[in-house]
């Protein structure tokens, strides 16, 4: 079965470029503005949208994304509303892949079977659930694959060749390589090491490899795009949202444009990277 994710990475490959994968938190700074942002991302150059499902204890996320989740929760965002956001996005865009990213607890509380049905029905294409290791694949990964949703796994600098087959076994869509040890946005990756890491992963899988964590600028994106099939940017985009808000943390008339301006610059950087490689 072909997914929108497969089609989008194939398109990027035909155009001899990496795909730009953008992360935003659903409901940040409020549900309506968040929907505007998500709807604007493809036009700004985003190939794939990772949509964060806000959670009170996001252990893999750095301060920027933690703050975004708290803003979203304070504004009333819920898992149901996040799925509604996907549904509303699909009313206007049937092509851009959406990957739901978050933690298992809210899915478990919602009910796995119910969540998978509603996510697929809403128009999601896959998910990244960072706190479920391969040993727990029967909990969510295998049911997700059976539902037609890609389950995207993270590989890290500490994932050695012995561990890698287990990580990749049921992965679909793409492999997300975490280029730095630590939380999101915490450090800048060593670009000299990324190429070798991507090559190592490609010896074990035919899936596209997207690289993220610490990618903040168009120059960073260009450096990653020289090696990877995809470049993932999250904290920098979430920061752009935060810096556009008023003193009370509410959206302004600059919020959406702050995000689209950054994403457009990142998309240009991604294209430069492959051309320069």
* Catalytic residue list: 50, 61
Distance separating the N- and C-terminal Cα atoms of the chain: 32
CB 24 within 8 A of CB 33: no
Interior CA angle at 205 toward 150 and 220, to 5°?
Answer: 80
CB 230 within 8 A of CB 45: no
Give the C-alpha distances (Å, rounded to integers) separating 81 from 26, 42, 74, 211, 242. Answer: 8, 21, 13, 29, 21
- Structure tokens belonging to residue 118: 């509603």
Ramachandran region, residue 172 (left: φ > 0; alpha: ψ -120 to 50; beta: rest): beta
Residue 124 phi/psi, 5-degree rounding, is -75, 155
Residue 180's contacts (CB-CB under 8 Å, 6 or more residues apart) are 157, 186, 187, 188, 189, 213, 214
């Amino acid at each position: 079965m072909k997914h929108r994710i497969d089609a989008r990475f194939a398109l990027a490959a035909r155009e001899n470029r990496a795909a730009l994968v953008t992360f935003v938190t659903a409901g940040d700074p409020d549900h309506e503005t968040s929907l505007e942002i998500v709807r604007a991302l493809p036009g700004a150059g985003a190939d794939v949208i990772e949509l964060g499902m806000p959670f009170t204890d996001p252990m893999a996320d750095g301060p920027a994304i933690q703050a975004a989740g708290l803003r979203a929760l304070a504004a009333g965002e819920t898992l149901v509303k996040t799925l509604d956001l996907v549904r509303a996005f699909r009313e206007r865009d049937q092509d851009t892949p959406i990957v739901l990213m978050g933690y298992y607890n809210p899915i478990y509380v919602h009910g796995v079977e119910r969540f998978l049905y509603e996510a697929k029905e809403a128009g999601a294409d896959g998910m990244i659930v960072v706190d479920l290791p391969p040993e727990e694949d029967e909990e969510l990964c295998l049911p997700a694959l059976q539902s037609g949703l890609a389950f995207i796994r993270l590989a890290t600098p500490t994932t050695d060749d012995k561990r890698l087959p287990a990580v990749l076994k049921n992965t679909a869509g793409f492999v997300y390589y975490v280029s730095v040890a630590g939380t999101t946005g915490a450090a800048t990756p060593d670009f000299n090491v990324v190429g070798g890491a991507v090559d190592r992963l490609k010896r074990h899988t035919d899936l596209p490899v997207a690289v993220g964590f610490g990618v903040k600028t168009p120059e960073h994106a260009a450096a990653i795009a020289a090696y990877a099939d995809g470049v993932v940017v999250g904290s920098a985009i979430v920061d752009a949202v935060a810096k556009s808000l008023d003193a009370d943390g509410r959206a302004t008339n600059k919020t959406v444009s702050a995000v689209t301006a950054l994403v457009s610059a990142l998309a240009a950087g991604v294209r430069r990277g492959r051309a320069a490689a």
